Amino acid sequence: MAVAQKRKSKSRKGMRRSHHRVAVPSVVYCECGEAALPHRVCAACGSYNGRQISKDDA
């Protein structure tokens, strides 16, 4: 098992963890005004790319 030879500074620890953040999901807004994930059917109105896809109307 690996053993640390020297104590890592707070700066080094921060630099190592700089990429450990949670990615922010991208959001697009449908024609109905609701936020939706890109390249997916809108959950509120059922449209995608300007066309009605889902038969269920909200």
Is pTM beyond 0.85? Reply is: no
Copy the structure tokens of residue 25.
């999901």
Q: Per residue in 14-42, pLDDT tens?
A: 999 999 999 998 999 999 999 999 999 99
User: Which residue, chain included where needed, has tokens 């959950």?
Assistant: 43
In terms of pLDDT, which residue wins out, 1 or 22?
Answer: 22
The CA-to-CA distance between both ends of the chain, in Å, stands at 58
Distances (CA, A) of 45 to 5, 13, 15: 59, 46, 44
Copy the structure tokens of residue 30.
């449908």
In the chain, what are the domain boundaries?
A: 26-57
